[in-house]
Structure 1
Amino acid sequence: MNPKESLSKETYGYQMCLYQNFWCPKFSLEPVIALQRDFQACDTDIFVINMPKTGTTWFKSLLFSLFNRSNEGLLNTQLQTHNPHELILSLEITIYAKDKNPDLTKMPSPRLFSTHLPYDSLPESVKNSKCKIIYITRNPFDTFVSSWHYYSKLENVDNNVGCSSTMEEYFNKFCKGRSLYGPFFDHLMGYWKESLERPKKVLFLKYEDLKEDGVLQMKKVAEFVGFPFSIEEEKQGVVEDLIKLCSIESLKEMEVNKKGKCDPDFENKCFFRKGVVGDAANYLTPPMVERLTKIMEEKLNGSGLSF
């Protein structure tokens, strides 16, 4: 039986199927099943994992630059010619979507991957190996607003419904957990708990902390993945230069992101908007803020995690 036909369905920008208690994009369901079955993690692998619209593009640029700073420097970077999503590929959206049985054995170590999968739905080899997971999240208010703006741009992609629903209708779905790869709080709590139980395997980062003190956070990331900045690099301002290179403002002005496309129907500029903290205040009404605040307080109660 075709699993797409037997699962509950919903729409949040894209058509989704409820699979393993999360809302999987319909177009990614078969790739997800394939990678869960076949993907073999290496102990040296590094995964960028998050919910959509919580800093994926930005953090991919930071991590790629971190690992490639010695080889190419910061002036001759591949970021000038490739969108960050082309430099760190998504398992379910790119790799397994193109080939259900890809040969990943020839990729140089460390292999850098990304995924939006919840922790419980990761391939067993990822959970059981010594690979590293960097999880980045963002406050739910800005996450929702960013997702709304993003999906409203994609109404012509993959029969996307785009703006056929109002912001209020999308907000209602988000609050009920019916968003891409959601529920939002279940997703982040899965990785938060793992980061507490296995801090050497899972590093939990907040978008807001990266914005407030990028130097401190990137030094933490570099230590975590075993590629720390040297004292000389710190003196030379390499960390600051890396953060400046990968800023939203810098990425938006790169020609590849102004005019390039990840595929024939998708423009790279769709990945970039404001990239600021607190922008939700310009869009959410007081009742919406009150509703989501109550949900957040209930879901995070006693966890030690806050926004």
Structure 2
Amino acid sequence: MRFQLPNRSVQSIVSTLELKSPEDHPTKMPQSSFFAKSVPFEQIDKLAISGGYSSIFASSEPGVPVVGNWEQRFCRLADTFQPVLDRVYDFEVREDDVWIVTLPKCGTTWMQELAWLVVNQCDFETAKNVDLTLRSPFLEFNGVVPNVPHDTIEAANALPSPRLIKSHLPAWILPKQIWSKRPKIIYVYRNPKDAAISYFHHWRGMVGYQGTKSDFMHSFIDGYVNFTPCWPHVLDFWQLRHEPNIFFTSYERMKGQLGEVIAEVAQFLNKKVSPEQIEQMKRHLSFESMRDNPSCNHVKEFESMKVAAGREVEEFSTSPHRFVRRGVVGSHKDELTADIIREFDLWSDINLRDYKLNMDDFANYKKFASV
């Protein structure tokens, strides 16, 4: 018997993954490397966000060394990103940079702290006392929150080498020099069901989302939240995983084999860490330590976001929302209905079918056979 979704058809799940008609042709952003097409109001209304929202397309074939139908590929972003995108795309890359690239809520902060310690000879004192956002800036943060008083692109540009830079953007919107200068890139995958649940709580706490969990999950599947659609983002870096400057790993491996991942990152970055340093790093990178460490739990960043968004800091300080929330692999099992889990699984199967992949392939991948 063929499986049928209880509420949504297969067609509805995949309908947003490709343009359907000439009427959907996007408009050129002035003097930009990108095109933008406004997202229908009903999608913005469902997400309970203010301001515009667009699908971003490349205006010409990007230099990413993967095969892609670039006329059809897009990334969904709030319109506040549009003044930032070309500054990001034209950002001056250095060959000794280390880039941490993920979709949101996939262990980005965790990997930033891990990689920073590896690069900086396990300088735990600085790691505890200097905010991670200063040590490893979020390049496109001014697109997320345009009214914060600091320019994160300028901050990244001013960092001494070797820089660690964070981004959630897909490969083809990252600075174009990345593909010619070939700095080291660490990409972290996470099971989309767990990532979506974490993203939902993040939107509730930081964006003020008041909609239903079901609506948010469908918006995630359909690619209507920032930095989605999910699977093209993951698959571009999966296709690049054998490149010597790309390290592909997963949140799941970090949770289950943190010591091994630390050693692998050190090997990838041509750094040495002793067994004793690995044990120290494991303690420093534990869930409890990361949650309670003010240099990397983003409390200061959240306060600036609240002020920029016109929300009271006191509202945040009494809120149950925390950036480091549960840190559990498989958390979707007790937070999503069986119907939505089946919907996620079908959506993943549709996207991965041509690659003959399943989610375990990403979660279990090791770049190095041994360390």
| Both structures adopt the same fold (TM-score exceeding 0.5) | yes
Matched, 1:216 2:260: yes
Tell me which amino acid in the other structure corresponds to 2:200: W
Q: CA deviation at 1:305?
A: 5.2
Aligned-residue offset at 1:216? 0.7
Are positions 1:193 and 2:239 aligned together? Answer: yes
CA distance in 1, matches of 2:296, 2:156: 27
Determine the C-alpha separation between the residues in 1 that align with 2:231 and 2:174. Answer: 17
Match of 1:7 among 9, 14, 37: 37
- Which of the residues 14, 19, 39 maps onto 2:56? 19
Match of 1:228 among 267, 272, 291: 272
| CA distance in structure 1 between the aligned counterparts of 2:245 and 2:48, rounded to whole angstroms | 32
Aligned residues: 289
Q: Distance in 1 between the 2:324 and 2:152 partners?
A: 30
* Aligned partners of 1:116 and 1:181 also within 8 Å: yes
Aligned to 1:162: 209
Q: Is the contact made by 1:60 and 1:85 (CA closer than 8 Å) also made in structure 2?
A: no
Q: Distance in 1 between matches of 2:156 and 2:132?
A: 19
Alignment-derived partner of residue 138 in structure 1: 190
Aligned partner (choices 31, 40, 53) of residue 84 of structure 2: 31
Question: Considering only CA atoms, is the larger Rg found in Structure 1 or Structure 2?
Answer: 2
For the structure 1 residues 294 and 114, does the alpha-carbon distance in structure 2 shift closer, same or farther, using more than 3 Å as the test?
same
Secondary structure of the 2:223 match is coil
Give 1:90's aligned residue: 138
Q: 1:42 to 1:244 in 2, by over 3 A?
A: same
- Name which of 304, 323, 330 aligns with 1:264: 304
| Other-structure match for 1:248 | 287
- 1:181 matched to 2:227: yes
Does the CA contact (< 8 Å) of 1:57 and 1:85 recur in 2? no
Determine helix, strand or coil for the equivalent of 1:192.
Answer: helix
Identity rate of aligned residues, in percent?
Answer: 22
Report the counterpart of residue 176 of structure 2 in structure 1: 124
State the superposition RMSD in angstroms.
Answer: 2.8
Unaligned 5+ residue runs, structure 1?
155-159
Residue in structure 2 matched with residue 77 of structure 1 by the alignment: 126
Distance in 2 of aligned mates of 1:107 and 1:238: 26
CA distance in 1, matches of 2:236, 2:56: 16
TM-score, normalised with respect to structure 1: 0.84
Return closer, same or farther for 1:43/1:255 CA change in 2, 3 Å cut-off.
closer
Aligned to 1:157: none
- TM-score, normalised relative to structure 2: 0.70
CA distance in 2, matches of 1:100, 1:108: 14
Deviation at 1:126, TM superposition (A): 0.7
Structure 1 pair 101–190 and aligned structure 2 pair: CA distance change class (3 A): closer
Q: Find the residue that maps to 1:251 and give its secondary structure.
A: helix
Q: CA deviation at 1:94?
A: 4.9
CA distance in 2, matches of 1:283, 1:103: 38
Given candidates 336, 345, 351, the residue that maps to 1:299 is: 351
| Contact 2:188–2:248 under 8 Å retained in 1 | yes
Separation in 1, partners of 2:193, 2:81: 26
Deviation at 1:108, TM superposition (A): 2.1
* 2:255 partner amino acid: K
Question: What's the offset of the Cα at 1:293?
Answer: 0.5
1:42 and 1:129 in contact (8 A); partners too: yes
CA distance in 1 between partners of 2:107 and 2:153 (Å): 29
Residue in structure 2 matched with residue 239 of structure 1 by the alignment: 278
Measure how far apart 1:99 and its partner are.
4.3
Query: For 1:102-117, what aligned pairs fall within 5 Å after superposition?
Result: 102=154, 107-117=159-169
Deviates most, 122-131 or 250-259: 250-259
Distance 2:203 2:129 in 1: 25
| 1:286 and 2:330 correspond | no
- 2:62 matched residue in structure 1: none
Provide the rounded CA distance (Å) in 2 between the counterparts of 1:51 and 1:101.
Answer: 19
| Cα distance between partner residues in 1 of 2:137 and 2:230 | 22
Aligned equivalents of 1:144 and 1:19: distance in 2?
21
Matched residues in 2 for 1:250 and 1:162: separation?
28
The structure with the largest helix share of the pair is: 1
Which letter maps to 1:242?
A: M
Matched to 2:54, the amino acid is: C
